[in-house]
Structure 1
């Protein structure tokens, strides 16, 4: 109660858009609108010889959602294979 009396709550108003990074048809955005870390992620994946969200999260200091969107964009462009469960994706 003492803490509640100190000040009113200060809430963060976050607008979460689960479709960001994709157009209205669910396709990835054009190359000129790619994530600013996309090309760095491509370099990391090519160097490692495998692709996973955890690899990108660690190397780029990004969250899961952003890493997953980058991998989806790579898959759509034919750079990596489809998901294989918990195993890393194959670099094509």
Structure 2
């Protein structure tokens, strides 16, 4: 049994340690020289940008879940959908 699970079963209150929301405001990847529009569409950098937005959705959703005390992994997608409905999800970005 995982240590945290054991503590939860014993009724010990665990305070979540999460980063502040502004820590999740890193800018998306950019080429070091030139503009993203100069990069051919089949270049791996475009995948990197897509991954950035999708991983940001997951990080924000997981942070919100921890803060709200939600621990079941099945809720992750509903939290990500909440971002989409708020106009903040990965699909809102035209770089994809």
- Larger helix share, 1 or 2: 2
Higher relative contact order, structure no. (Cα contacts within 8 Å, ≥ 6 residues apart):
2
TM-score by length of 1: 0.29
TM-score by length of 2: 0.28
